[in-house]
A and B are shown apart, each in its own frame.
Chain A
Amino acid sequence: MSTNIYRYEVRVRWKSVLIWTFALASLLFIFMALFPSFSAEAAAMNEMVANFPPALKSAFGISNLDLSSVLGYFSFCMVFCQLCFAIQASNYGFGLVSVEENEMTADFLLTKPVSRSNVLRSKILAALTSLLATDVLFWLMSYASIVLFREGKPYELKILLLLLGSVVVFQLFFFFVALAISQLVRRVRSVTPYSLGLAFGAYVLNAFAGIFGDVKLEYLTPFKHFDTAAIVLDGHYNLPLVLLEVGVIILALGFTWLRYARRDIPTSV
């Protein structure tokens, strides 16, 4: 790994990490501050839901979820955090190497006495560092928001850890898939439309599954692989789906690795 590249890349992203962290923090605190007034109302409704036949209930994922409980509510709010994570990770993925081609700095970088795989490795590690930094800050703030607003209600630490841990693989999926797509197209002229498409596409697919309760297309989306409501209900990850996701990550990484080594780099001349 080239420390120079690594350090440069981390430095380029630290401001963005702070902004995303700020966004996530405001999201968490706005939602969790509503919890006290929300849970009272939800508790009354829960009793009614209990009487419905299970087949019908399963059609509406969310109706199974106890929104009067701390984690039930937290998982609801975490879907929006996931959306932020998805956009951030795809931003980093799409921009990772394509930014050099857009700003005409690719020829400068690639004539340095480091191999392409070394460049790629350093860049990936730097981006992963930034993503992990966001995670750690997110974990701390989630914990803080829960402690502040839970109103003495109990919650299971193990499930909270599962929920918080899921964002790591979730991010990796968007990061590596975005990176692989950026290698597939000839040129990523602007990162934002691509990452919006990827992240929101996945989100909307999942939202449809949530409302209209049918599962086919939805297996495509990581929002379903790490369905926060399901994690709270089952108390564990949906292992086949997580493995599927890890498989996709490895495939995307492998593809990028091979492709970038022999990619035709567009330059200004």
Chain B
Amino acid sequence: MNIFWHEIKANRKSLLVWSAVMVLLVLTAVAKFSAFHNNPESLAILDSIPKSVLDGMNMRAFNLVKLDGFFGVVFSYFSLMGAMAAAMWGSESIAREERDKTVEFSLVLPITRSKLVTAKLLAALVNCVLFVLITWGASALSARAYQPDAGFYKFLGQEMAAMFLIELVFLAMGVLLGCVLKKYKLAGSMAISIILTAYVLFVVSRMHEKLDVLRFVTPFRYFDAADFYKTGRFEPVYLALSAGIIVVCLAAAYLVYARRDMMI
């Protein structure tokens, strides 16, 4: 428990910075929505943009004149930010000990290594939950100016659930990287490269039908606003896939960390 609270405190600043950026993002996005609000002309323009470009930017599926359609587009950025923040929190909280040369201290405490990982994981998880809640609150509050209907709030709730699930996947991945990589410096950069690759694959996978198989490769496609905007639910396949990724990552992380040499 002590470790948990210590970790919460250590992560606090990072959570504040990420949340501030997120709130800024939501505010600018909603401010820009005023250009689209009940303005069918801008839709006509959108119709003329090549299909694959719109798909790449994930804009075709949405009715941008309506608030929920607009938030569907903004969701790509929510999920990207959520993924980055979660992966950073996951990998940093483990790798930090070796970087700051505190790992010897933590590991001679009278607890098992897996308990240490659990405490860190839970603290990072709390951060992820708070991050989603803050995003949710900021979006709901700033959208109020347009008097959205109940449908919007339902869709927003779904987006936030999707963002949380994406966070979970990348949090597990981050923890795995932090636990497995012998060089603590690699953890962060590996996490970035995985996220960037996943993001680019996400963009590319929407551009061409032949590349649609990539949808199983990139977690951003698992919870794609364009899909659940239409169907109103998450596909069980993707839920199962992400659960699988999370379980495998965490299991590997615990196993490896329990018997690993630390860099001192």
B28 within 8 A of A: yes
Contacts of A52 in B (CB 8 A): 44-45, 48
Kindly provide the distance from the CB of A75 to the nearest chain B CB, expressed in whole angstroms: 12
* A23-B193 CB under 8 A given contacts A52-B48, A196-B84: yes
* Category for how many chain A residues contact B: 35 or more
A34:B29 contact, CB within 8 angstroms: no
* Category for how many chain B residues contact A: 35 or more
Whole-angstrom distance between the alpha carbons of A197 and B188 in the complex?
13
Interface of A is mostly: helix
Contacts of B33 in A (CB 8 A): 212
Contacts of A37 in B (CB 8 A): 208, 210
Residue-wise, chain B 1-25 has the 8 Å CB interface mask toward A (1 for contact) of: 0000000000000100100010001
A193:B59 contact, CB within 8 angstroms: no
B99:A45 contact, CB within 8 angstroms: no
Kindly provide the distance from the CB of B168 to the nearest chain A CB, expressed in whole angstroms: 19
A45:B32 contact, CB within 8 angstroms: no
Contacts of B80 in A (CB 8 A): 200
A41:B51 contact, CB within 8 angstroms: yes
Residue-wise, chain B 204-228 has the 8 Å CB interface mask toward A (1 for contact) of: 1001101100000000000000000
B188:A56 contact, CB within 8 angstroms: no
Kindly provide the distance from the CB of A197 to the nearest chain B CB, expressed in whole angstroms: 7
Contacts of B96 in A (CB 8 A): 189-190
B49:A31 contact, CB within 8 angstroms: no
Whole-angstrom distance between the alpha carbons of A199 and B42 in the complex?
30
Contacts of A208 in B (CB 8 A): 28-29, 32
Whole-angstrom distance between the alpha carbons of A31 and B77 in the complex?
21
Residue-wise, chain B 42-74 has the 8 Å CB interface mask toward A (1 for contact) of: 101111111111000101000000000000010
Whole-angstrom distance between the alpha carbons of A57 and B257 in the complex?
55
Kindly provide the distance from the CB of B264 to the nearest chain A CB, expressed in whole angstroms: 13
B50:A41 contact, CB within 8 angstroms: yes
Please provide the chain A residues from 1 to 56 with a CB less than 8 Å away from any CB of chain B in the complex. 19, 23, 27, 30-31, 34, 37-38, 41-42, 45, 48-49, 52, 56
B28:A217 contact, CB within 8 angstroms: yes
Whole-angstrom distance between the alpha carbons of A207 and B207 in the complex?
17
Question: Closest residue of chain B to A45, judged by CB?
Answer: B50
A62:B35 contact, CB within 8 angstroms: no
A80 within 8 A of B: yes
Please provide the chain A residues from 229 to 267 with a CB less than 8 Å away from any CB of chain B in the complex. none
Contacts of B189 in A (CB 8 A): 91, 192
B192 within 8 A of A: yes
Contacts of B52 in A (CB 8 A): 38, 41-42
Please provide the chain A residues from 54 to 77 with a CB less than 8 Å away from any CB of chain B in the complex. 56-57, 59-60, 62-63, 67, 76
Whole-angstrom distance between the alpha carbons of A20 and B52 in the complex?
27
A191:B208 contact, CB within 8 angstroms: no
* A80-B200 CB under 8 A given contacts A38-B208, A87-B192, A196-B192: yes
Question: Closest residue of chain B to A209, judged by CB?
Answer: B32
Where the two chains meet, the residues of B that have a C-beta atom closer than 8 Å to any C-beta of A are 14, 17, 21, 25, 28-29, 32-33, 35-36, 41-42, 44-53, 57, 59, 73, 77, 80-81, 84, 88, 92, 95-96, 99-100, 188-189, 191-193, 196, 200, 203-204, 207-208, 210-211
**23 pairs, CB–CB < 8 Å, chain A vs chain B:** A37-B208, A37-B210, A38-B52, A38-B207, A45-B50, A49-B49, A56-B44, A56-B45, A63-B45, A63-B49, A87-B192, A189-B99, A189-B100, A190-B96, A192-B88, A192-B188, A193-B14, A196-B88, A197-B21, A207-B77, A208-B32, A212-B29, A212-B33
